[in-house]
Amino acid sequence: MPTDDQKKRYFVSAAHGVIQNIRNESNEFEIHLNDEELTILQDLLTSLESDDDYTFRRAFVPFKSADHDDAAQEFDDQTIALYSYLYEHGSNDTTQMIKSLNVLTKLENTAYQDKGYGRDTP
């Protein structure tokens, strides 16, 4: 019987918010976690799903700019946290896939400092 410190293999679909013991076509990432780390991952996925729902509802507010919306920023932060966690606990294939997606760099570098994002622009 495994102890709490022993890592178990899981397959995660970040797009669907699913963690499974068996790989299928929707599982993008293989990771290795102990029970405590699994709970953290479940919390990250739940938080991301909640932020996604809130961001979706905010998208229909016509006077609120999406590029500086707190809801969108929170969703980006949670996405970065999830992919960082998957990267940290992932198999070699998982870490290589996340590197090749370049998703962490893209999410961390939003280009808000570039011309056109100032207060005096439409």
Paired tokens of 69: 């919306």
Residues 6+ apart with CB under 8 A from 85: 40, 41, 44
Strand 18-20 vs strand 8-13: parallel, antiparallel, or unpaired?
antiparallel
Q: According to DSSP H, which parts of 4-122 are helical?
A: 35-58, 70-89, 92-101, 103-108
Q: What is the pTM of this model?
A: 0.70
Backbone angles phi, psi at 42, to 5 degrees: -60, -40
How far apart CA 48 and CA 28 sit, in angstroms, is 17
Mean pLDDT of the chain: 77
Which of 76 and 106 is assigned the larger pLDDT? 76
How far apart CA 87 and CA 95 sit, in angstroms, is 5
Which of 103 and 64 is assigned the larger pLDDT? 103
**What tens digit of pLDDT does each residue of 42-60 get?**
999 998 876 555 555 555 5
